[in-house]
Structure formats: structure tokens, C-alpha cells
């Protein structure tokens, strides 16, 4: 009897193990569920202005864009959606920015004041944490940081809307809150039909939004370390140093590139005074970090500007934050690998530390999958829409990088092309490596190795 009982119990454990999801699979499933719920809510008649409810494709596209904190839109946010629909979008942005597993862990801490080992694993996987012993502190830190930055941005925007533009109290509160959440979470949704073009020369609107975007794009691990050890740069991790240096270099390079090329373009910077041109060039360099607000008509920019922005959007921001793209750290790792090979050195050393060889493979894998995803989507968009390469490449990179900038063609794309962008936003938000890990059924451990051989390279 005892043997039979133990055998039955063992079979039950095996069955449970067979259906137990890998943490990466749980993250993907969580985001998919959030998109599904958001789509259902936006299809309700109460969410859409005018008679009837939103169509499936428009609701799905908007929900995916909000949960994946992208900002690409196929309808005008301020006129198409009712206040209820706009609140749904705002909640989806906050949920997607925090992370589904982090939000679930927060609910667990509030209600049960504890987390299971499984919940800790899932949360740590989404937050890119090294361990999961202090996941409770990690969750609290992420939530507090998010709310603090959003609150500070809200106060600045609220005062500007109230005192500078004569909004009434309720309108100033709503606009301040919506754009504060949208900016920190790098979402790019705005409550204006022309996005932020009406504030192109206003530093009291552009700079707080840009600051929130930069902070959100650094990633939670970097922000949390800076909060504890801001005055101790020698204690900063390699991740923090790479993100900070990469962010500064890319912001400066992007500002110079966009400002110089668009300086005399009468349809963009050419219509502004010199100080406003520099401000706007910086603002749009920030947007390429995966935010997606625009204070200029992106469709009126030069093709050369689009190409430079493609590169910046593809790189994106810091890992484990609200930014997309391949991440600054991935780009930096590949740069240092290249420099090491050019110098003929054996190990890749960064900031006085040796880079793990496993990171080499991860960086190369992420970039190759990302390139494949963007190129495949670009070809599909061209075939489905009949649009030119430059515009479709821009839309594809913007969707994959969860940026939200557009040359203006997204609303007019056929439904199949919109679904391509939906898939690309989903892949871009979760990351190629996370999505690939989630698809794999299990990790295989090879117990043998083949003989080494070196093919000719180059």
C-alpha cells in the first residue's frame, strides 16, 4: 500500500512538472494575457467615442502598443477614445512599464505579505535580477522609484499646464498625470492629435518629459544602484557603467546628428530659432531611446535623419527597464568584443573587469535575432502595404524598439500589416532572448563535446 501511494504521488509530481512553465514562459504569457484583457476593454462601446465599439485590429494594436509601452497608434488617442478608454490605455502603460510579474508580485505582497518561490523566480526573471533572495525589496524598490519619478514629472507638468496654458484644475491634473506616466514608461502616448508638436519650443514641457524618459530608459537595476551608491562610482557594476556611458554617448551623438542634418529643413528645425532647434534636436534624440513623443513632423524629416534614428531606435535603452531595442549593454558588449579582436587580445576587459564568455554568445544571439525580426517584418510590410523601404524600415525598427515614432503611414496600413507590427512590438518588449527561451520547451545539457575546428572568417 505504501509503495502504491508513493508511486501515485510521484506520478502526480511528474505531471505537475510537465506543465510547469519556465519563468520566461510565464512572463510571455503574462504580457499576452494583459494584451488580451486590454483589447477586450478597448472594444467595449464605453471605450470608443461615437456609436459602436472599436474594431478588433484597432483595439488589439492599441492594447499591444500600450502594454509594450511603444506608442505607435492607428487612431487618434484624444478623439477616438473616450475618457474611459484613455484611462484603460494609461493603466495598460503603467502595467506594461512596471512589468506583469512585478505587478503580480506587488499584489501578492499587499494581500498575502509573502511570495512563493515560483513567484520570486518569475519576478527575478522579468527584472533581470541575478538572484531572487530579496525579490520583495526589489519589487518595493521598483514601485517606489516609478511612483517617485512619475510624481515629480507630474508636478512640473501640472504647474506648467495650469499656470502657463490656463488649463482648469481637473484638465491640468489629467494631462499632467497622463504624460508623466507615459513619459517615464517610455510609452509616447499623448493627449493631443499632433502629439507634442504644440510644445516644440517649450522647455518647461519638453525637458521634464525628456528627463523622465531618460530615467525610465536607464533600467531599474541602474536606478536602484545609483540611489544607494551614487557617490561611490568605484562600486558601480559593469552593467551600470555601460548603461550610463552608453546613454550619454548616444544622447549626445543623436542630438548632434539630428540637429545638424535638420538644421536648415524648413519643415522641421528650420522654422525655429537657434535655441529651439538645439532643444528640439535633443528632445528627439531622447525619443529615439524608445519613448516615441514627437514635437516635429517625423514624416517631413530627411531620409538621412530617418536612417540615423533607425540605428538609435534599434539600440534602445538599458535592460530591465521601460526601454526596448537590443539594449545599450548589448551594443556596448559587441563594441568591446570588436575592439578586443582588433587589438589581438584574448579576453574582453571592460572597466577593469573581464567579460564572461557566455555574454558574448548572448549578445550575438540577441542582435542576430533582432536583425532577422526587423528585416523580415520590413519585407512583409512592403509587400502588404506597397510602401517604400525607408518608411517601412522606420516603422519596423520603431515597433521592435518599442519607440512609437512614425513617419505617418501607420494608420493607413492594411490590417495584415498592422498585425505584423503588433507581433514586432510584442517581440521587442519581451526581448528576443526572453521570447526564444520561452518558446523552448526545456534547456538541454550536452554531456559531450565535439572536436574544435576553426573556419576562415572574413
What's the CA gap between 266 and 256, in Å, rounded?
A: 18
Report angle CA 356, 226, 95 to the nearest 5 degrees: 90
What's the CA gap between 46 and 42, in Å, rounded?
A: 8
| Contact by Cβ (8 Å): 42, 59 | yes
**The pLDDT value given to residue 289:** 85
pTM: predicted TM-score of the whole model, two decimal places: 0.88
Burial 57-70 (b: 16+ CB within 10 A, else e): bbbbbbbbbbbbbb
Q: Assess if residue 296 is contained within a domain.
A: yes
- Residue 220 sits in which domain range? 21-439
| Contact by Cβ (8 Å): 67, 34 | yes
**The pLDDT value given to residue 345:** 86
Q: Assess if residue 152 is contained within a domain.
A: yes
Q: Assess if residue 447 is contained within a domain.
A: no
**The pLDDT value given to residue 142:** 81
**The pLDDT value given to residue 14:** 45
Q: Assess if residue 200 is contained within a domain.
A: yes
| Contact by Cβ (8 Å): 66, 38 | yes
Mean pLDDT per 10-residue section of the chain, whose length is 458 residues: 53 51 76 94 95 94 95 95 96 85 59 59 58 66 88 98 96 97 94 96 97 91 87 90 95 97 96 96 94 94 96 91 88 94 89 88 89 96 95 96 94 96 92 66 66 80
Q: Assess if residue 404 is contained within a domain.
A: yes
Q: Assess if residue 444 is contained within a domain.
A: no
**The pLDDT value given to residue 381:** 97
What's 349-376 look like in SS3? EECCEECCHHHHHHHHHHHHHHHHHHHH
**The pLDDT value given to residue 127:** 58
Q: Assess if residue 283 is contained within a domain.
A: yes
Q: Assess if residue 56 is contained within a domain.
A: yes
Domains of the chain: total: 1
What is the DSSP code (8-state) at residue 163? I
Amino acid at each position: 500500500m505504501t509503495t502504491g501511494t508513493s508511486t501515485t504521488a510521484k506520478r502526480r509530481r511528474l505531471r505537475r512538472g510537465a506543465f510547469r512553465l519556465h519563468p520566461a514562459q510565464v512572463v510571455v504569457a503574462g504580457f499576452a494575457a494583459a494584451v488580451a484583457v486590454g483589447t477586450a476593454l478597448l472594444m467595449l462601446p464605453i471605450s470608443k467615442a461615437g456609436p459602436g465599439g472599436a474594431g478588433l485590429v484597432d483595439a488589439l494594436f492599441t492594447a499591444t502598443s500600450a502594454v509594450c509601452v511603444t506608442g505607435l497608434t492607428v487612431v487618434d488617442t484624444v478623439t477616438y477614445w473616450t475618457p474611459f478608454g484613455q484611462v484603460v490605455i494609461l493603466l495598460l502603460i503603467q502595467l506594461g512599464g512596471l512589468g506583469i510579474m512585478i505587478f503580480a508580485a506587488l499584489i501578492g505582497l499587499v494581500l498575502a505579505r509573502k511570495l512563493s518561490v515560483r513567484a520570486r523566480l518569475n519576478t527575478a526573471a522579468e527584472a533581470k535580477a541575478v538572484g531572487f533572495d530579496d525579490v520583495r525589496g526589489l519589487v518595493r524598490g521598483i514601485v517606489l522609484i516609478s511612483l517617485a519619478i512619475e510624481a515629480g514629472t507630474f508636478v512640473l507638468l501640472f504647474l506648467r499646464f495650469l499656470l502657463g496654458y490656463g488649463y482648469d484644475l481637473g484638465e491640468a491634473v489629467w494631462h499632467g498625470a497622463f504624460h508623466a506616466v507615459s513619459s517615464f514608461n517610455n510609452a509616447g502616448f499623448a493627449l493631443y492629435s499632433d502629439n507634442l508638436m504644440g510644445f516644440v519650443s517649450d522647455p518647461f514641457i519638453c525637458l521634464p518629459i525628456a528627463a523622465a524618459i531618460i530615467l525610465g530608459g536607464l533600467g531599474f537595476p541602474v536606478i536602484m544602484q545609483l540611489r544607494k551608491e551614487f557617490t561611490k562610482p568605484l562600486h558601480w557594476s559593469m552593467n551600470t557603467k555601460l548603461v550610463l556611458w552608453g546613454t550619454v554617448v548616444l544622447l549626445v551623438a543623436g542630438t548632434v546628428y539630428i540637429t545638424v542634418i535638420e538644421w536648415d529643413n524648413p519643415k522641421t528645425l528650420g522654422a525655429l530659432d537657434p535655441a529651439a532647434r538645439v532643444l528640439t534636436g535633443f528632445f528627439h534624440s531622447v525619443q529615439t531611446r524608445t519613448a516615441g513623443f514627437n514635437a516635429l513632423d517625423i514624416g517631413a524629416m530627411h531620409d538621412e535623419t530617418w536612417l540615423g534614428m533607425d540605428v538609435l531606435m534599434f539600440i534602445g535603452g538599458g535592460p530591465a527597464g521601460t526601454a526596448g531595442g537590443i539594449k545599450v549593454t548589448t551594443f556596448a558588449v559587441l563594441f568591446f568584443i570588436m575592439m578586443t579582436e582588433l587589438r589581438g587580445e584574448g579576453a574582453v576587459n571592460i572597466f577593469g573587469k573581464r567579460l564572461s564568455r557566455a555574454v558574448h554568445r548572448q549578445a550575438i544571439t540577441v542582435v542576430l535575432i533582432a536583425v532577422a525580426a526587423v528585416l523580415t517584418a520590413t519585407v512583409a510590410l512592403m509587400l502588404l502595404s506597397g510602401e517604400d523601404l525607408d518608411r517601412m524600415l522606420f516603422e519596423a525598427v520603431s515597433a521592435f524598439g518599442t519607440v512609437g515614432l512614425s513617419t505617418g503611414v501607420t494608420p493607413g496600413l492594411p490590417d495584415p500589416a498592422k498585425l505584423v507590427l503588433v507581433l514586432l512590438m510584442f517581440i521587442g518588449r519581451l526581448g528576443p532572448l526572453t521570447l526564444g527561451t520561452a518558446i523552448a520547451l526545456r534547456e538541454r545539457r550536452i554531456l559531450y563535446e565535439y572536436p574544435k575546428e576553426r573556419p576562415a572568417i572574413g
